[in-house]
Structure 1
Amino acid sequence: MVILLLQHGADPSLIDGEGFSSIHLAVLFQHMPIIAYLISKGQSVNMTDVNGQTPLMLSAHKVIGSEPTGFLLKFNPSLNVIDKIHQNTPLHWAVAAGNVNAVDKLLEAGSGLDIRNAKGETPLDMALQSKNQLIIHMLKTEAKMRANQKFRLWRWLQKCELFLLLMLSVITMWAVGYILDFNSDSWLLKGCLLVTLFFLTSLFPRFLVGYKNLVYIPTVFLLSSIFWIFMTWFILFFPDLAGTPFYFTFIFSIIAFLYFFYKTWATDPGFTKTSEEERKVNIITLAETGRLDFRTFCTSCLIRKPLRSLHCHVCNSCVARYDQHCLWTGRCVGFGNHHYYIFFLFFLSMVCDWIIYGSFFYWSNHCATTFKEDGLWTYLNQIVACSPWVLYIFMIAAFHFSWSTFLLLNQLFQIAFLGLTSHERISLLKQSRHMKQTLSLRKTPYNLGFTQNLADFFQCGCFGLVKPSIVDWTSQYTVVFHPAKEKVLHSV
């Protein structure tokens, strides 16, 4: 109806009896598609009502929650503009309403903390008057962080956060192994030392590492594990395995693992990019064709969603042919780096497999064991007494081997037999729970058969017998069939 009225000459800038224009009403009723369409058609995101309030002010004051405040911020509205009567900024209005989610969004966008209204109050002054402890904490924390930005040392620490986190992880893993290997029969003493170590270690990320970088803790744990796995192999296992094929295979595996880890981490997974003009054209086109909804339009990126894409809230971007946000690499896995991810998993499992083999080889050569005579429990006590460090590294390697092998087999099954990503498979399984008929994961437009699925994924042929189909999933908006598949479909 809005589109029809505008096409017949309706003026969206007219003010109603309560002093609101069309965009203000769309904000009050949280109609995000209408907001996007009006702005794309030329309506100003900073348009004021009779009281001088912008849509952002109205959203922060009248609509409790993160939306549509977060949605409006995507259109780059003025954050520090003030209204006519109270001279409040959007942040003032959010604090006055106790709108915690809106305060969080506005602080993240960079709203001013020192602007005073007609009463001479800053947002913090208003929060102190209302005694909203959560908002007071948020404002004080943000003010402290912005003040710290003035110091060079703090800026340097922020740049080096990941490196410092990695160094902390390396040192902590060594300290744990050192305590376990400590020449003492008192496990109570070792337990107290471990508890003290973990307490001291937990203080560092809390004070020196930002919240956003805490998601990389599994990544630095993995890299630290690989570092000590390599050091253990080189120092303890090298004398026994030097010159054997196993040694060179391990070296090749660890180099390949580091390479494919880097490629998975550094390669663009398929982030969708578009200019502001293209964005507006897409919004208008989708709206006027009746397709401006969450299935085809991303309200976070303000773009038309390519087929098989999904918005990652960690990376804050839509990813083409989205598979997952990998916990162990700290990056999304998508169209651009999915094949690197497969090799990353393969060589990680190989590295861990060789260190497990090396551990058993070390125990057989350096530890006096009586497994056949006394059984498993005595054998475990003997290898613990012989070298707690080797057992420690063995357990770490076994842990990484278990999850990497499971994920690798799961990925290969999905790619070869289903032609689906992890996200698509999980979504279809969830849908099947609410359906009366059984949903087959094999019957999808993306499953072209075992051979063709592998050829398309790895983009490699087989002596002309199988040719990969080249699809750019960053700009694909319609279902694509392979020519061979189309013939089968048309013949049915």
Structure 2
Amino acid sequence: MMMDTAPTIMNPSLAHPPPVASTPVQDAVKACQFGDEDALQELLEPATGRALVDVNDRDAEDVPLLHWAAINDRRGVVKYLLKRGADTCAIGGVLKESALMWAARQGYMTIIVDLLQAGADCLQRNTYGQTALHLAAQRGHVNTVLVVLAAGTPVSSKDSKGFTPLMYATKLRISNVDLIRVLLNYGPSPGVEEKDLEEGNTPLHWAIVGGVQSPYALSPILKAGASLDAANKAGFTPEELALSLGNQGLGGYLKTCRNIPIRARDVPLKRGLFLPLIQLLWCFGFVNTFGCWGCLGGAAGIGATSSLTYKIVQFDANWVPLGVALWSLVLIVASEAAFLWEEQAALRSMATLLPALVTLCFLYKSMATKPGYLAMDPSAREMAINRLAEEGRLNSETLCTTCIVEKTPRSKHCDTCGRCILRFDHHCPFVANCVGQNNHRFFVGFLFFAVVGISSFLWNLYSYGQAECGEWAMWRCVFGHSKFLGCTAILAAYHDVWIGLLLLTHLRMVLINMTTYESIKGRRWVDNTTHGKPFYVRYPTNCFRFFFRPGRESGRMAGAYGRVPTQDLDMMGKKDEDALDSMEGGASRDGGMNANESRVV
């Protein structure tokens, strides 16, 4: 038997309960998250009555207003709160972090500059003992790391686990070469041999644990003096750790580094100056004694010295190419003086000997003259970093992350020399020096007189062979007179061709006032007003400034350089940063971020 059940009559007003009214603090937090400065001002400075919210009030999760504005990159709100007297050293959240730490984790450079100028303490630590520098290094924010370092944070500071910023960078961001370079080169003690307290790993160990893909990514750490024999608490050296993780390629590379020093100062590079002389004399001697069969003996001699050659030429800053250039000239001069002086007029031989001697002088000047280095003392460096950061122009195009100096127009860092070069042209191994602002003219003189001297030697050799044996039997006559002279002739002809082409290239660069590097990267320096030649004035003016007033650019030219590449690159960098923000921090910009999301370490 079914019973009728009366329907339950609900109160219509209870079907949709009225929304709970938000508190003034919640409204202030939302205003900070969304950057609503007007709404925040109405809460802090109402037109009538007393303020509904204090500038240092906190939400239910113990997070101050300044933190929410900083982590969401609301610079206008941050400046307003600082003007109203917000406490820059206040800590909040689960990890007890300051607003500076929240901004450092997100990489908001301009916010960090504002907080530091307002008195924020860059040495404050969270519950894990981490500073803003540790948090920025974890996320790979190079610009933030530079600003925090310039504020006075020690580069080798440790957290409660003994981790340094370099350890976090090698463990989590080993592919970020600029970050590694900044931490290695900023300050006298990069901490490459420091060990953490838990596992006893050095930064090199953590790079291997972090899954480094390319062995050459470890090169900056090894060059900074990282030990290959340091063992962690498990007893593993970096090489053994790589092998235990199954990375045979990396283990083999570290074994090679153990047998062949990785740092240039550990190898007597100047031995390379005499190595080509020994090899050339060995080959020439065998050919002179045994004829064509002597080539086999020459090849055997070069093979016997291959291990020493590799030990030296693996470094970019070696003297082997310099030895090739020097001893080639010496052999040409010696051949002219020994074999051709008596066979022809002395005046004709002097046409070879004098340019060759002048070439040696210009070779010495190109090698011994400093090309012009960029350098900054620590105080000027910090001022430059702060100025560029405040202007929003702190990036790898305006500051060298290896030398930690502000770049000037037409300067570039040379990885071989390890310095920033003024008006960088290229690094020439044949003069064992960079070709830059102060020695480029000497280098062009070296090329010019080398071509004149070698061409004169070949002409004298041609005239001698033609007079003795006729035009078609000339080379047979030369080798018949002396096999040593014939080998020297082949070497001279080879040098004359490539040096002549190089000379023509540099003379063209002199005329249009450009460098080799700018020519290779020409698309980045194109200025429509100068038909693709941003530094061109007039041919005579360009030549005069190059040879007699090096380094004195006109204001229009310097401005053109700064205008064309720098702004374009800054714009490209801005687009990249926006794309990164949209992927990693879009929630913070669009609708704010809750306290738990913002405190992920």
* TM-score of the aligned structures, taking structure 1 as reference length: 0.80
Distance 1:402 1:62 in 2: 50
SS at match of 2:521: helix
Q: Which of 513, 517, 521 is the equivalent residue of 1:427?
A: 521
- Cα distance change on mapping 1:132 and 1:234 into 2, 3 Å: same
Distance 1:40 1:314 in 2: 27
Q: Write out per-residue CA displacement over residues 278-314 of structure 1, whole angstroms, 9 at most, x where no aligned residue.
A: 2222111111122212222111111101111111111
Q: CA RMSD in A?
A: 3.4
Does the aligned pair in 2 maintain the 1:265–1:329 contact within 8 Å? yes
- SS of residue in 2 equivalent to 1:241: coil
Structure 1 distance, partners of 2:249, 2:414, is 27
Change (3 A) 1:113 1:10: same
The structure-2 alpha-carbon separation of the partners of 1:133 and 1:60, relative to structure 1 and needing over 3 Å to count, comes to: same
Counterpart of 2:559 in 1: which secondary structure? coil
Matched, 1:28 2:138: yes
Q: Is the contact between residue 66 and residue 101 of structure 1 (CA under 8 Å) also seen in structure 2?
A: no
Identity of aligned pairs, percent?
Answer: 26
Alignment match, 1:236:
339
1:109 to 224, 237, 244: 224
Aligned twin of 2:191: 78
Give the stretch that moved more between structures: 276-285 or 173-182.
173-182
Tell me the CA shift for residue 65 of structure 1: 2.5
- 1:66 and 1:102 in contact (8 A); partners too: no
Q: Per-residue displacement from partner, 1:206-264 (whole Å, max 9, x unpaired)?
A: 35x3632674332211112111111110110111235x322333232122111110000
The 1:399/1:145 distance shift into structure 2, 3 A limit, reads closer
Change (3 A) 1:441 1:387: farther
- CA-to-aligned-CA distance 1:417-473 (integer Å, 9 cap, x gap): x121222222225776xx9x898234x2x32212221221122xxxxxxxx697289
> In 2 relative to 1, CA 136–224 (structure 1 residues): closer, same or farther, beyond 3 Å?
same
- Structure 1: which amino acid aligns with 2:501? F
Could you tell me which runs of 5 or more consecutive residues in structure 1 were left unpaired when the two chains were aligned.
Answer: 460-467, 482-492
Give, in whole Å, the separation in 2 of the partners of 1:321 and 1:293: 20
| Paired position in structure 2 for 1:441 | 532
167-176 or 112-121, which moves further after superposition?
A: 112-121
**Any unmatched runs of 5+ in structure 2?**
1-110, 562-601
Q: Helix, strand or coil for the counterpart of 1:181?
A: helix
CA distance in structure 1 between the partners assigned to 2:159 and 2:217 by the alignment: 20
Within 2, Cα distance between the matches of 1:59 and 1:183?
Answer: 60
User: 1:288–1:254: structure 2 CA closer, same or farther, 3 Å change rule?
Assistant: same
**How far apart are 1:98 and its partner, in Å?**
4.2
Matched, 1:397 2:500: no
Partner of 2:559: 479
1:172 paired to 2:279: yes
Taking the aligned partners of 1:197 and 1:170, their CA distance within structure 2 comes to: 12
CA, structure 1 residues 320+212, in 2 after alignment: closer, same or farther (shift >3 Å)?
same
1:59 aligns with 169
**Does the C-alpha gap of structure 1 residues 230 and 62 become closer, same or farther in structure 2, counting only changes over 3 Å?**
same
Q: Is the 8 A contact 2:428 2:435 kept in 1?
A: yes
* Candidates 326, 331, 351, aligned match of 2:453: 351
Verify: 1:305 aligned to 2:385, yes or no: no
Contact 1:301 1:318 in 2 (8 A): yes
Shift of 1:415: 1.4
Equivalent residue letter for 1:413 = R
Contact 2:156 2:165 in 1 (8 A): yes
Q: Does 1:296 align with 2:398?
A: yes
Q: Is the CA contact (8 Å cut-off) linking 1:24 and 1:55 kept in structure 2?
A: yes
| CA deviation vs aligned residue, 1:363-413 (integer Å, no higher than 9, x gap) | 134x423x4xxxx4x655555555443332222222222222222222222
DSSP 3-state at the match of 1:212: coil
Which of the residues 257, 273, 278 maps onto 2:380?
278
Q: Is the 8 A contact 1:359 1:390 kept in 2?
A: no
1:177-192 to structure 2, matched below 5 A, reads 177-182=284-289, 187=292, 189-192=293-296
Partner AA of 1:479 in structure 2: G
Counterpart in the other structure of 2:15? none
Task: Quote the offset at 1:190 in angstroms.
Answer: 4.0
How many correspondences in the alignment? 445
- Residue 206 of structure 1 corresponds to which residue in structure 2? 310
Partner secondary structure for residue 355 of structure 1: helix
Q: 1:140 to 1:11 in 2, by over 3 A?
A: same
- d(CA) in 1 for partners of 2:461, 2:418: 42
Tell me, in whole angstroms, the C-alpha distance in 1 between the residues paired with 2:183 and 2:224.
Answer: 11
Q: Normalization by structure 2: what TM-score?
A: 0.66
Aligned partner of 2:241 among 126, 129, 140? 126
Which stretch shows the higher mean deviation, 328-337 or 256-265? 328-337
Higher mean C-alpha displacement, 40-49 vs 30-39: 40-49
SS of equivalent to 1:240: coil
Partner of 2:67: none
Tell me the equivalent position of 2:594: none
Is the Cα contact below 8 Å between 1:124 and 1:136 reproduced in 2?
Answer: yes
TM alignment of 1:1-40, pairs within 5 A: 1-15=111-125, 20-40=130-150
Between stretches 271-280 and 131-140, larger displacement belongs to: 131-140
- Cα distance in 2, alignment partners of residues 94 and 308 from structure 1: 34
Larger Rg: 1 or 2?
Answer: 2
Kept in 2: contact 1:71–1:299 (CA 8 A)? yes
Once the two structures are superposed, the pairs formed by residues 364-403 of structure 1 within 5 Å of their partners are 364-365=466-467, 367-369=468-470, 371=471, 376=472, 380-381=475-476, 383-385=478-480, 387-403=482-498
Tell me the equivalent position of 1:465.
none
AA partner of residue 429 (structure 2): L
Quickly say closer, same or farther: Cα 1:202–1:139, change in 2 above 3 A.
closer
Deviation for aligned residue 1:92: 2.8
SS of the equivalent of 2:351 reads helix
**Matching of residues 454-473 of structure 1 within 5 Å:** 454-459=543-548, 471=552
1: distance between equivalents of 2:540 and 2:429? Answer: 30
Looking at structure 2, the residues matched to 431 and 165 of structure 1 have their Cα atoms a distance apart, in angstroms, of 37
Structure 1 residues 94 and 398: alpha-carbon distance in aligned structure 2, compared to 1, 3 A threshold = same
Residues of 1 paired with 2:176 and 2:329: CA distance? Answer: 41
Q: 2:557 & 2:545 partners in 1: Cα distance?
A: 18
